[in-house]
Each structure stands twice: as structure tokens, then as C-alpha cells.
Amino acid sequence: MVVDQTLLDSVLCSAKLVFVMPWSASQQKRLAMEKELLEKYFRNRVKWIDPGHQTKVEVQVTCSNDRQYTLRLYVPEDYPNSCPNLVVKAPMLRAYSGVYLHQYPGDNHTGYNIEGYSGICHFRPNLWRANNTLYQVFMKGLIWLEAYQAHLRTGQPMSKYLSEMSG
């Protein structure tokens, strides 16, 4: 019996998240643990995108002022050995002055753009350890968003609300 692999993959993915190549067996086990951890704390607000290739994870978060954001994490090919990138996917970030945050002068703890989204600082890559989790990254993203909300309220630079990260 010949089975269409694309059809099989889609059936398996609809039943449960399946990590396929290029992930090694140990990475698949680790990502399954990460999936359980994220679902435990973020429940149905977690979305895995292309879990077999260039994997991304999106989490819907809500700040203390009820503003909602979508954080997107890019899982590196050698995860957990490298630090993932984290961006704010939605909404587009603007500074207190109204300009896009990536155009705003000063220390706003953004460091890069990926696919047009503002990348935010969460871990220093040289201090990343394999036992750090995706959950920790998303929680640091939520802390960053709280500082962003304070910046929007006061106009103060985000560095006033975020100290240098030690890990």
C-alpha cells in the first residue's frame, strides 16, 4: 500500500504535534517537553509553525493593562545549544513619539528585525545554556512588553525599566 507522505504528515500533525527531520531524536524529545511546558502555562494560546523545518512558535500574551501581543520565537537548527530569536509579531511596535520602535533613538532593547518584525532582547547569546527553556524566553518577552507599556505611558527610555540581563 502506497501512502502519500504529505497526507500522512498532515493527519499526524492534526492529531498531535509531530517533530520530523531535521530534528534529531534528542531534539524531538526536548521540543516535546518544551511543547508540554508551553501548553501548561499558555494553554491554547500557543501555535507551532512548520515544526519539521524552520520551526517557529507563537504565543499570545496579555500585559497587565490587558493589551495583547503575539510573540514569535524562531527555534535555531541546533536548539537547545543556541539562543532562539524572539520578535513581537503583532501589533507593530511604535515608540512614545509615534515612530516605529526600530527607528526610535535610544536604548529600547531591540536588536534586530526578522521578517519585518522587531526583535527583542531576552538572553545574551553568549550566556545561553542548553537548560534554558522556550518558556523562559517567552516570559522574558512578557517582561519586555511590560517595560514597553511603561515607555508608552511615560515616554521614558525602556532602559529605565529593563536592567542589563545577566542571563
Q: Which amino acid is present at 8?
A: L
Q: What is the pLDDT of residue 109?
A: 65
Q: What is the pLDDT of residue 10?
A: 38
For residues 12 and 136, the model is more confident at 136
pLDDT average, residue stretch 109-123: 80
Long-range own/partner contacts, residues 61-67 (CB < 8 A, 24 or more apart): 61/138, 61/141, 61/142, 61/145, 63/142, 63/145, 63/146, 63/149, 64/146, 64/149, 65/149, 67/145, 67/149
Note the pLDDT tens digit of each residue in 23-60. Answer: 999 999 999 999 999 999 999 999 999 877 789 999 99
Q: How confident is the model at residue 113 (pLDDT cuts 50, 70, 90)?
A: confident
Q: How confident is the model at residue 114 (pLDDT cuts 50, 70, 90)?
A: confident
**Looking at domain 5-160, does it have CATH number 3.40.50.720?**
no
Note the pLDDT tens digit of each residue in 52-87. Answer: 778 999 999 999 999 999 999 999 999 999 999 999
Note the pLDDT tens digit of each residue in 124-140. Answer: 889 899 999 999 999 99
C-alpha grid cell, residue 149? 507599556
